[in-house]
Structure 1
Amino acid sequence: TEANRIIPTCPPAELPKEPESVYRALRYGTAKFLQQCGIKRMTVGLSGGIDSAVTAVMYADILGPENILLLNLPSRFNSAATRNSAQQLAQALGANYAVMPISESYELTVKQLEETPITHLADGSSFNLQLSGLIKENIQARDRGARVIAAASAAFGGAFSCNSNKAELAIGYATFYGDICGAMAMIGDLWKHQVYALGRYLNELIYKREVIPEAIFNIRPSAELSDAQTVGNGGDPLVYGYHDYLLRAFIENWHKTTPADILRWYKAGTLAAELGCTQEAINEACPDAAALIADLERWWNLFAGFAVAKRIQAPPILSLTKRAFGYDHREAQLTPYFSREYYELKEELLK
């Protein structure tokens, strides 16, 4: 009867939307993981970029800033802008913070490798190793992760974080035993645009102040590992407004998108709609068909090739989607494959 009807005290709660749902899931999952592992302190390499900034702020929210150690590890390639942003963030959090330059140790490693003769014991001949630019970049990443951050974490207690996002993991844009090591990749199931959105949410609704400096949102993403790869020159090789969505289609679509699908959609003029990105982002990354094909093959070969080996050895990823790397996205180390239809479409478009 009307008298016995139960009147709800509040309307049914709406399902949370991004980035709120992302924040709640990350916070809950990370807190449970740390609790189960007995981790009460966390060390984070703080570069001055958005990925490490969001990771640091999330850990401070979960464990308290007094239990967070933030380390800025500059070489001569790191800009004053990113160093200043890292310090501003650490100060806004009230966390433990230190600057530990790696230039001296990096230069010593390069000198050891290039100037120490290698002897071929069968005939007594010798030669010296020659280090490419990429090798020198990777030395810096390993010096930060495997040497300084890992050792500092052991001394501080607890564990240290992997700051890689899903786009970087998808193409292997990380260094073995460098920036792809740690106890957990908290944001490893977030695309770059989701990391930015989460950063805004943390400032505006969780901390209600600017803990992540505005400069971090505006600066060009870069690993800052060489003169050709800085925030003012070069930057990351990905145009995230397009590549986030391209890579997501390879992984998260129920029927995983293939390179042939991409060319078919491009030919039909529906690529932006199919991927969910803007046409402007596609044009920025790939101004014509030849550029789009070269770009597609570059990232597909990495995604389905050597990046798999890196993902197999990556830290555990906090899963938010049905296709997180690890158990959810099943994969094997097979040769990247392009179908006959792909080559036919490629030939047609290049004409």
Structure 2
Amino acid sequence: MKIGVLQLNPVVGDIDGNAAKIVAAYRRATALGADLCMTPEMALTGYPPRDLLLYARFVERVGERALALARELADGPPLLLGAVEPNPGTGKQVFNCALWCEAGAIRKSVRKTLLPTYDVFDEARYFEPAPEGNERANIVEFNGRTLAVSICEDAWNDKDYWDARTYSRDPLEEAAAFGPDAILNLSASPLFLGKQRLREDMLGAVARKYGVPMVYANQTGGNDDLVFEGRSCAFGPDGRLVARAAGFTEDVLLVDLDDFSANAVADDDFAPEAETWRALVLGTRDYVRKSGFSTALVGLSGGIDSAVTACVAAEALGPENVTCVLMPSPYSSRGSVDDSLALAENLGVETLTLPIEPIMRSFETTLAEPFAGLAPDTTEENIQSRIRGNLLMALSNKRGSLLLTTGNKSELAVGYCTIYGDMSGGFAVISDVDKSSVFRLARWYNEHVGPNIPEPIITKPPSAELRPNQKDQDSLPDYAVLDAILALHVEHHKSRREIIAEGFDEPTVNRILDLVRFAEFKRRQAAPGIKLTPRSFGTGWRMPLACRRDL
């Protein structure tokens, strides 16, 4: 039996558009000889639809379109469709489900059992878990085969692999009692760097444990702050990887449950910089286009952050759809301006140059009386940043272009950024890439994509150039130290005491963690950005604002 895995890039909420994608991929798979097709989790709605699920009419529309889809495909093999359906009983109003569509009807609904509530997931807010008691609820009989159907998290609770259990139930263990011939898993599993290796190791271990093939369908594309890498895959009964779809793009993968001799594993690159680049490009492209924009703006400073952001934008949208704006001040070095122009020329993007000195002078004149007797400080520096933010937002409004912000994770973590200034914009491309990783990514990009970033941008000491001879390290620790401490605190949940015990200087640790706490109000107002790490400053970061936290 051949299974067509439909790796799709849905648009959240676009029920009709997603249905059209499903039909096109289904037709392609059946033309290749698929006896059964399966989509990713919630392919009809896109994942995650979040509070759209609170609207009964939205859920009704999904049901209506699912039935219409089943009827449209009545002349072909069955489709296992990721969708949602109303809960007619008590509890939450909606089930996350896989609908078995066959012969013009919805023959069965398999409901998701395990509802994640960690990191970016909040499924218990919306869904009722599959009820207990119906032992064959996730079993489908087809063509003489017994198929165990599961949805994403349902496959992530194997006590032998994790040496523990997060949930009290294990849907695959329950299904194993019926001797399935294969396990099918519909997923919308978002990326963090290195996750696919973990995913394949875990799914392979599950297939080996039960001695049956396992087929995994994953969503691809960017939805808000999440990127889904695709890389749908299949494993033989010995746990060996036998098939993998392409990464970061739509694909159709054909898996023959009776023949695992063919090598259908797509080539891939799992290096952190390669994954980061592909995720940034896909996430930016989808956020811009799914939000209804076709062009983007980037403020180009001559620094490495804006350079990398411009490279991502040009790759994601095409250089003809990107405008880079230079806004030199009296403190901008000639080298920064020349490097910015060289980068833009290398990328083939439009540039605008808008000097801000005249506007700075008007601020000085207007504020001369209330500032009388007060020494210049970061106030004047922030004014420069806010002038630039205003100019960029004016261009964004006038041109209908999305402004991409250029701040990195290190700056966002400690508040080394200006709210309503350089934080202005609609999408924060590298906000989950720390400064050390930005440097590595720039070098990787020049080697593997094109030598477009001028070498001085990579080698010169980072500076905001808001005062004479300013350097980032005047205000911050060395980035290698800063990033190591931030990773321990933000991504690994380590406290001050635990970080100091790892050998870091106590005053430095205290200062950095205090900055993280004080910058919370800025992050709450920041533009969304692409999640790349197990814990970004996105929907998975839920720190209180008005609090006293001693971590």
TM-score bracket for the superposition, by shorter chain length: 0.7 to 0.9
1:156 to 399, 406, 417: 399
Q: For 1:142 and 1:148, locate their aligned partners in 2 and report how far apart those are by CA, in whole Å.
A: 9
Q: Which residue of the partner structure matches residue 144 of structure 1? A: 388
Letter in 2 for 1:189: D
Helix, strand or coil at the partner of 2:427: coil
Q: Which residue of the partner structure matches residue 331 of structure 1? A: 543
Equivalent pair of 1:114/1:130 in contact (CA under 8 Å): no
Gaps of 5+ in 1: 118-126, 272-291, 340-351
Helix, strand or coil at the partner of 2:298: strand
Helix, strand or coil at the partner of 1:260: helix
Q: Which residue of the partner structure matches residue 487 of structure 2? A: 248
Larger Rg: 2
Q: Which has the higher contact order (CA 8 A, sep 6+)?
A: 1
Report how far residue 262 of structure 1 moved.
2.1
Report how far residue 304 of structure 1 moved.
1.3
Helix, strand or coil at the partner of 1:304: helix
Helix, strand or coil at the partner of 1:97: strand
Helix, strand or coil at the partner of 1:160: strand
With 178-187 and 10-19 compared, the bigger mean Cα shift is at: 10-19
Equivalent pair of 1:31/1:62 in contact (CA under 8 Å): yes
Q: For 2:471 and 2:268, locate their aligned partners in 1 and report how far apart those are by CA, in whole Å.
A: 43
Q: For 1:16 and 1:137, locate their aligned partners in 2 and report how far apart those are by CA, in whole Å.
A: 41
Equivalent pair of 2:322/2:350 in contact (CA under 8 Å): yes
Identity %: 33
Letter in 2 for 1:94: G
Q: Which residue of the partner structure matches residue 90 of structure 1? A: 344
Equivalent pair of 1:222/1:235 in contact (CA under 8 Å): no
Please report the RMSD computed on the Cα atoms of aligned residues, expressed in angstroms.
2.1
1:303-327 C-alpha deviation (Å, 9 max, x unpaired):
012x000000100111122211121
Q: Which residue of the partner structure matches residue 346 of structure 1? A: none
Helix, strand or coil at the partner of 1:104: helix
1:262 aligns with 2:503: no
2:379 to 135, 156, 163: 135
Helix, strand or coil at the partner of 1:19: helix
Q: For 2:443 and 2:406, locate their aligned partners in 1 and report how far apart those are by CA, in whole Å.
A: 17
Helix, strand or coil at the partner of 1:98: strand
1:183 to 426, 434, 439: 426
Q: Which residue of the partner structure matches residue 167 of structure 1? A: 410
Greater percentage in helix: 1
2:354 to 68, 76, 100: 100
Q: Which residue of the partner structure matches residue 218 of structure 1? A: 459
TM-score (norm. length: structure 1): 0.78
Report how far residue 31 of structure 1 moved.
1.4
1:21-48 C-alpha deviation (Å, 9 max, x unpaired):
1111111222111121011111110000
1:132-164 C-alpha deviation (Å, 9 max, x unpaired):
31100000000001x211112223332111101
Pairwise mapping of residues 1-351 of structure 1 onto structure 2 (< 5 A)?
5-9=259-263, 13=267, 16-115=270-369, 128=372, 130=374, 132-145=376-389, 147-206=390-449, 208=450, 210-230=451-471, 237-253=476-492, 256-266=493-503, 292-305=505-518, 307-335=519-547, 337-338=549-550
Report how far residue 295 of structure 1 moved.
2.1
Letter in 1 for 2:299: G
Report how far residue 238 of structure 1 moved.
3.6
Aligned residue pair count: 294
Letter in 2 for 1:251: V
Equivalent pair of 2:500/2:509 in contact (CA under 8 Å): no
Equivalent pair of 1:166/1:189 in contact (CA under 8 Å): yes
Q: For 1:92 and 1:335, locate their aligned partners in 2 and report how far apart those are by CA, in whole Å.
A: 48
1:169-209 C-alpha deviation (Å, 9 max, x unpaired):
10011111001111110100111121122222222222x3x
TM-score (norm. length: structure 2): 0.51
Equivalent pair of 2:482/2:512 in contact (CA under 8 Å): no
Helix, strand or coil at the partner of 2:461: coil
Q: Which residue of the partner structure matches residue 283 of structure 1? A: none
Greater percentage in strand: 2
User: Relative to 1, partners in 2 of residues 1:106 and 1:14: Cα closer, same or farther, differing over 3 Å?
Assistant: same
Q: For 1:317 and 1:238, locate their aligned partners in 2 and report how far apart those are by CA, in whole Å.
A: 24
Q: Which residue of the partner structure matches residue 284 of structure 1? A: none
1:216-253 C-alpha deviation (Å, 9 max, x unpaired):
1101001010125158xx65624111111111111101
Letter in 1 for 2:470: Q
Report how far residue 265 of structure 1 moved.
2.4
Q: For 1:105 and 1:12, locate their aligned partners in 2 and report how far apart those are by CA, in whole Å.
A: 54
